[in-house]
Chain A
Amino acid sequence: MTDYTHHHWEITSERSLFDLKLKDTWEYRDLLWLLVRRDFVSFYKQTILGPLWFFIQPLFTTIIYTFVFGNIAGISTDALPKPLFYMAGITAWNYFSDCITKTSTVFRDNATIFGKVYFPRLIMPLSIVISNLVRFGVQMLLFFLFMGYYALQGAAIHLNIYALLFPLLIFLMAALGLGAGMIISALTTKYRDLAFLVTFGIQLLMYATTVIYPLTSAPVKYKWLIIANPITAIIETFRFGFLGTGSFGWPMLGYSTLLTLVILICGILIFTKVEKNFVDTV
């Protein structure tokens, strides 16, 4: 008979705060990919347009923003073509907001499956962030198409070396959405009130971010608030790298990175703390 003693385990009521089960999570990496695949496949099953739907949403939002904020309200777009300006903001913002909204309901959405089988719970929010990345990638393609089109039209687009910061920006958006989402999800398992605030709060947050206006034309009175918002630096850097306009500064980006890391670590800590008993209260 095989000797199983090498596979020793222990279940107790108390677990160290810093026992994050990262090793367990790594063991389940296949599940992560399968969940991402599931999300992607089930999204367009039984639709006629299939993955095209990934394009349609940002496209329409861009058109509406161009019309409402650009033409009616006449908000400055830093001398960029309006659709291109909004699309840059929307693409980046959508990724962040998808990550945070989906992650913030992860316990409730998966209560049945979490109640029946154990796997490292961290897998679920991670799979959400990665699934959204697929969608984000598709939307980036659309953004590049727009860029190409306007470049040919002779618009003043200055793709520059800072575009190489793109991977860092993706990481920051994902980490921020994941971290904040996990904190919210942990709090909502017991007190549902917060869930109502999330959708509403994210909408408000968008207006405190430079999605529909450039930082340069933000009101001076509230500028500190907009800069304190860590997503502002991400979106500004994104625009600056790809389009050549926007406010970029290392201190601003450094501050965003630091805050994001703090939120991510807090998120993981709180999430793993709540995870072991949430089934009893959700």
Chain B
Amino acid sequence: MPAAIKVKNLSKAYQLGQIGTGTLQSDFKRWYAKARGKEDPFLKIGETNDRTVKGTSDIIWSLKDINFEIEQGNAVGIIGRNGAGKSTLLKILSRVTAPTTGIITGNGRIASLLEVGTGFHPELTGKENIYLNGAILGMRKKEIKRKFDAIVDFAGVDRYIDTPVKRYSSGMYVRLAFAVAAYLESEILIVDEVLAVGDAEFQKKCLGKMNDVSKGEGRTVLFVSHNMGAVQQLCSECIYLKNGFISLTGPTKLVIGKYLLSDNNQSSQWIRHDNYFDNEYFTIEKIATVDESLSEKAVFTNNKKIGVRIEGYVKKLNSSVVIGIAIYNQDGHLLFWSTNTDKNTSEWTSLKEKYNKLVMWIPQHFLNEGSYRIECIVAIHFREWIIEPEKNSPIIYFNIEGGLSESPNWLTSRPGLLAPIINYEKLED
């Protein structure tokens, strides 16, 4: 099978800081060095794209010496933290920008979807925009004509097709835009995080369509997303980019697991070191996962309960303050919320003034193996959020490995979000 895409020694450098002042001068120096056959004085070798470390030159390597090959008909996910170079890679592949060095060869028409609805004109009707957007994405007019009905059908905008798209709801707009791209007749489809828009139902539909494209029609798909669930569902292989280098390639499950664990931000404890979280009612000082003896731990076996210890300072006691946690699995799905006021009022864990230490226990044999993320909940009941999950909460992580059961039949992990052990009773006749 021929390779659909073959990337060799690909690098891309960007210039940092202001472009304008001084560029004419440095452009001239660069040109002069080149004219004498010397190397570009502004490109320093060996610098990496790590945003946390301050580099010495103004040039940053967004991608550095990337090599990989994608076989025809594969769906490949590209994962990595923000700024790892994912979007740059897709931009180069879609020919929006050129690489600094390296070469990419491939076979088959490329269609890229870096954004939903590129080139949509608000004044034009849905129909006119389908044609325009289709042509921008590289379709011929007769091709669009042939697929017009299917596109309208997929988008579900039949009634509004002669209405200017500025009157569309944002959902309709996105659906229409994705539909055009979904019906591109290309052999290679490049998709960047477009599923971040639209509701859950639409996302499901898009993923389904992309699945059809790769599995059903044998086309090659390159997919960038932060949604690990979507990547896992769609892609058989993954490329994990880190600071512009390829950290790992391989089967999706393996790469995602490695990505989630190796991320050096994933600590199992968090300690306050600025006044960002200051408030009167409950200022979180520290969060950590602990074992039964209250000592801090990051990896647990599933036959022991897992404690989440929250320490915080109360300046003004308020009986409506609610403290809790939200737990997410490694695909980013929320598993549950839990708070100190979930029981009968008489059983609430009350706070006291000054320093408070709380611990909440996640039962053993409840979650499945995997990595989990904990975010905090602090709120004044029915009035306001102080710490809201996915908004302003500190985050910690923990892992569950092994200890799934005592049974000789259940030694390795099973599918599913949860892994409870449930009683089986025999009923008497």
Contact = CB atoms under 8 A, between A and B. Distances in A.
A12 B99 contact: yes
A259 interface: no
Given A45-B123, A113-B119, A118 B112 contact: yes
B101 interface: yes
A80 to B, nearest CB: 41
Interface stretch (B103-111, B298-306, B356-364): B103-111
B34 to A, nearest CB: 12
A7 B137 contact: no
Contacts of B141: 30, 34
B28 to A, nearest CB: 13
Given A1-B72, A116-B118, A119-B138, A11 B96 contact: no
B193 interface: no
Nearest to B98: A276
A261 B14 CA distance: 36
A42 interface: yes
A38 B132 contact: yes
Contacts of B381: none
B57 interface: no
A281 B182 CA distance: 31
Given A5-B2, A41-B128, A118-B112, A113 B98 contact: no
Interface string A31-56: 10011011001100110000000000
A190 B137 CA distance: 27
Contacts of B106: 8-10
Interface in B294-338: none
B276 to A, nearest CB: 34
A81 to B, nearest CB: 39
Contacts of A28: 135, 138
Contacts of B109: 7
Given A5-B2, A11-B92, A117 B119 contact: yes
Contact of A279 (B2, B97, B138, B140): B97
B124 interface: yes
A117 B97 contact: no
A279 B96 contact: yes
B98 A277 contact: yes
A13 interface: yes
B91 A41 contact: no
A114 interface: yes
28 contacts: A4-B107, A7-B109, A7-B187, A11-B92, A11-B103, A11-B105, A12-B98, A13-B98, A13-B99, A30-B135, A42-B124, A115-B91, A115-B96, A117-B94, A117-B114, A117-B115, A117-B119, A118-B94, A118-B96, A190-B19, A191-B20, A191-B23, A191-B24, A192-B20, A276-B98, A277-B97, A280-B14, A281-B15
B4 interface: yes
Instruction: Name the residue among B91, B119, B164 with the largest chain A CB count within 10 angstroms.
Output: B119
Interface residues of B, number: 51
Interface in A1-21: 1-2, 4-5, 7-13, 15
B413 interface: no
Which 3 A-B residue pairs are closest in the complex by CB-CB distance? A4-B108, A31-B135, A118-B95
Contacts of A116: 96, 114-115, 118
Contacts of A37: 128
Nearest to B105: A10
Contacts of B136: 31, 113, 117, 119
Nearest to A46: B123
B6 to A, nearest CB: 10
A158 B124 CA distance: 44
Nearest to A278: B97
Contacts of B104: 10-12
A1 B2 CA distance: 12
Nearest to A42: B123
Interface in B111-155: 112, 114-115, 118-119, 121, 123-124, 128, 131-132, 135-141
B218 interface: yes
Interface string B333-345: 0000000000000
A2 B109 CA distance: 12
A279 B218 contact: no
Contacts of B14: 280
Contacts of B138: 28, 119
Interface of A: 1-2, 4-5, 7-13, 15, 28, 30-31, 34-35, 37-38, 41-42, 45-46, 112-119, 190-192, 276-277, 279-281
Interface string B220-260: 00000000000000000000000000000000000000000
Contacts of B392: none
Contact of A10 (B19, B103, B131): B103
B83 interface: no
B102 interface: yes
B77 interface: no
Instruction: Name the residue among A1, A31, A42 with the largest chain B CB count within 10 angstroms.
Output: A31
Contacts of A115: 91, 96
A13 B137 CA distance: 23
B76 interface: no
Given A11-B93, A38-B132, A281-B19, A4 B4 contact: yes
Contacts of B107: 4-5, 7-9
A108 to B, nearest CB: 14
B131 to A, nearest CB: 6
A37 B129 CA distance: 11
Given A8-B107, A117-B114, A41 B98 contact: no
B100 interface: yes
A38 B124 contact: yes
Contacts of A38: 121, 124, 128, 132
Given A117-B137, A276-B98, A34 B73 contact: no
Nearest to B1: A1
A34 B93 CA distance: 26
Contacts of B131: 34
B96 A114 contact: yes
Interface in B63-82: 72-73
A7 B79 CA distance: 28
Contact of A13 (B23, B101, B218): B101
Contacts of A4: 2, 4, 72, 107-108, 187
Nearest to A15: B98
A281 B102 CA distance: 20
Contact of B91 (A9, A113, A119, A279): A279
